[in-house]
Amino acid sequence: MTIRDKILVVEDEKTISGLIKAILTANGYDVIQASTGSEAFSMISSHCPDLVVLDLGLPDMDGMDIISTVRSWTSMPIIVVSARSYERDKVQALDKGADDYVTKPFSPAELLARVRVALRHTRSGPGSGAIANTGKFTAGDLTIDYDKHQVLIAGENCRLTQNEYKIVALLGKCAGKVLTYDFIMKELWGPQSKGNNQILRVNMANIRRKIEKNPAEPQYIFTEVGVGYRMIEGD
């Protein structure tokens, strides 16, 4: 008997919960379900799932509180399910410690990709195994050489500035995961860098012009409008 990853789905809408369960079960995960916040808490402590899929709108408590409480004692990955129009909720959830989010209506492929990335990141810690072994991150033609502090496209050095390199390097370490503007700013410019994210946005526009063939159709770094940036998953 194989041991499978156990995923807790916290969702009060029965149909959505059933759908998520069906998608995950069909792809080799064990699924347990909770429909309220308090139920979720007791299941998290008794079952120790490998990952939690959490809907923010629960009847008995605010999803944000669940995230902060769970984060206070475990780094178990949390994926938030949210409606499209509420990007502020997404940002808040991510900044409170959620690992990623999917937007309703989501496709099975999207959900599975997020789950896969979140599980992998908690296993290998920040920076996937490949980076630790070779000092390089690759995705298609893009290579980030962490030893030489260079970003290459098809072997060509892109000549990023120092800040630009730092941004790409950070995204590469968390490849596949969305990083909020605030998170990136704090990592790069320290905790005082609150609020204005224009420097980051302009830096990113310059990066796109250096590494993407067409800045309006990026292949490597994707924008989640109003939330942050996501590097494509590595090879």
Based on the shown chain and the rule CB under 8 A, indicate whether residue 226 belongs to the binding site for another protein: yes
Q: Rounded to whole angstroms, how far apart are CA atoms 218 and 200?
A: 17
The structure tokens listed for 66 are 């669940």
Choices 2-10, 34-42, 162-170, 224-232; region in contact with another protein by CB under 8 A: 224-232
Q: Binder to another protein among 206, 207, 211, 234 (CB under 8 A)?
A: 206
The structure tokens listed for 172 are 């590469």
CB of 214 to another protein, least distance (A): 7
Side by side, which strands form the sheet with 228-231?
A: 178-180, 228-231, 221-224
- Whether 218 and 232 have beta carbons less than 8 Å apart is answered as no
Based on the shown chain and the rule CB under 8 A, indicate whether residue 225 belongs to the binding site for another protein: yes
Give residue 206's Cα distance to chain centre. Answer: 23
Where are any strands of DSSP class E within 84-225?
100-104, 136-139, 142-145, 150-153, 156-157, 178-180, 221-224
Q: Binder to another protein among 186, 223, 232, 233 (CB under 8 A)?
A: 223
CB of 31 to another protein, least distance (A): 23
Near another protein in 56-75, by CB under 8 A: none
Based on the shown chain and the rule CB under 8 A, indicate whether residue 201 belongs to the binding site for another protein: yes
Residues that bind another protein (CB under 8 A): 84-85, 87, 105, 107, 198, 201-202, 204-206, 208-209, 214-218, 222-226
